[in-house]
Amino acid sequence: MEQGNDAGRLEQAQRRKQEAGLAAARLTAEGVTAIALTWVDVAGLTRVKVVPTSRLAQVAAHGVGMSPVFDVYLVDDSVTTSPHIGGPDGDLRLIPDLDRLTVLAAQPGWAWAPVDRFEQSGQPYDACQRQFARRMTERAAERGIELRMGFETEWVVDPPLAGAAYGMARIVERSAYVGDVIGALEAQGVEVLQIHPEYTAGQFEVSVAPADPVGAADLAVLVRETIRAVSLRHGLTPWFGPVVDPEGVGNGGHVHLSLWQDGRNLCRGGEGPFGMSATSEGFLAGILDALPALLAIGGPTPASYLRLTPSRWAGAFQCWGLENREAALRFVAGPPGAQDAANAEVKSFDPAANPYLVVGALIAAGLAGLDAGLRLPEPVTGDPVHSDGPRRLPSSLPEAVGRFTESAVLREALGDRLFEAIVAVRQAETKLFDGRTPQEIAEATRGRY
């Protein structure tokens, strides 16, 4: 059996090599000389290995090496350890996903591809965050459920703008910049839905079309790095951290999702709340129920809890509502006749989160809600801070980690190695920032993501 598996892996490697050879020839003809191969670590930082285009075929077949210790790196590049990962030993192979290979419009001569990580033997690495997202997507597909997801990307540019929040003055002041962000994304095949100035001075948000869960996480990485490249070319510094100024409104990493079956959006046309189907309701109820534990993934740093403040549209309370931007889970029914528009938005998460962990964990929680037959509680209207019903979500990272460690659902879905790495990194970052002021935490993290 093992010999058969080895033969199958060799055959796959050969197919990848042939495909990559053709891709490399095309990229070379387009003037691309370097390819950035990225993955996102537990701390939420996008790590990279760069290979010349001429090496793409070899790398696609056999990968490029990288230590597993990066799964226990912290936001400041210090290192912790976990029961399964830590220390200088070992090596992994980074295999690019050629289907996602993209020429970078804002970095002339460069292309990008996300990677899956494998053991030296060719076996999938069980702590690979991207493969975790794929496993959960496949688990949903086994139930006949297709997920479509999309991340909103918020960031602050420095120097900031003088115009009002959501004001046209900001667009006029940065019209060349905003136009170049749109142009670069569209040149890369990314469908931009909208872009606008947000609340905080210098803050923008861009939304792109939904994709399958792994594809949505890939897009979150590509969109951010495109914005970074365009910003730097305009002489601007982009801040993607959860907070830039702890006294102001932070950057969100909101996630939109909808469930589909046989081409039908399960968020519409049912007999559940606001027309959602029973399947959609049970899935969303699972997410809402698990949110305190999910925050250890979606709000992964002490800076996250400076952002997660009531009455700032951050989703600080464990409740849901129709178009309620203060609820942690906002249901978007969409206009009549627009079936594609109905979806749910998780508002409590921020840009420090690893998007692959986010999509995988949301699916795991949603499926658990279906298995348990959960139903949504009564929706909340108005600001939940003025209501006695909704519970406050964890207000600190240690509190969220405590809820995470109690979650049998997330431990089973993630597997012990990845689960324990998350716990170790979160606990180490809690210790790293212990005793620091909110301003010091903001300054130490706002430019790291």
SS (H, E, C) 34-92: EEEEEEECCCCCEEEEEEEHHHHHHHHHHCEEECHHHHHECCCCCECCCCCCCCCCCCE
- Read off the pTM: 0.97
User: What is the rounded distance in angstroms from the CA atom of residue 118 to the CA atom of residue 90?
Assistant: 12
**Do 356 and 40 meet the contact criterion of CB atoms below 8 Å apart?**
yes
Task: Report the topology of domain 134-445.
Answer: Creatine Kinase; Chain A, domain 2 (3.30.590)
User: What is the rounded distance in angstroms from the CA atom of residue 99 to the CA atom of residue 101?
Assistant: 6
> How would you write the pLDDT of the chain (449 residues) with one tens digit per residue?
455 577 778 888 899 999 999 999 999 999 999 999 999 999 999 999 999 999 999 999 999 999 999 999 999 999 999 999 999 999 999 999 999 999 999 999 999 999 999 999 999 999 999 999 999 999 999 999 999 999 999 999 999 887 899 999 999 999 999 999 999 999 999 999 999 999 999 999 999 999 999 999 999 999 999 999 999 999 999 999 999 999 999 999 999 999 999 999 999 999 999 999 999 999 999 999 999 999 999 999 999 999 999 999 999 999 999 999 999 999 999 888 787 899 999 999 999 999 999 999 999 999 999 999 999 999 999 999 998 889 999 999 999 999 999 999 999 999 999 999 999 999 999 999 999 999 999 999 999 99
Task: Report the topology of domain 2-125.
Answer: Ubiquitin-like (UB roll) (3.10.20)
Within this chain, domains 2-125 and 134-445 share the same CATH topology:
no
**Do 301 and 75 meet the contact criterion of CB atoms below 8 Å apart?**
yes
The dihedral of CA 134, 139, 145, 151: what is its sign?
Answer: negative
User: What is the rounded distance in angstroms from the CA atom of residue 99 to the CA atom of residue 371?
Assistant: 33
User: What is the rounded distance in angstroms from the CA atom of residue 257 to the CA atom of residue 362?
Assistant: 9
Name which of 247, 239, 365, 244 is nearest 295 in CA terms. Answer: 365
The domains of the chain are located at: 2-125, 134-445
Beta bridge partner(s), residue 238: 157
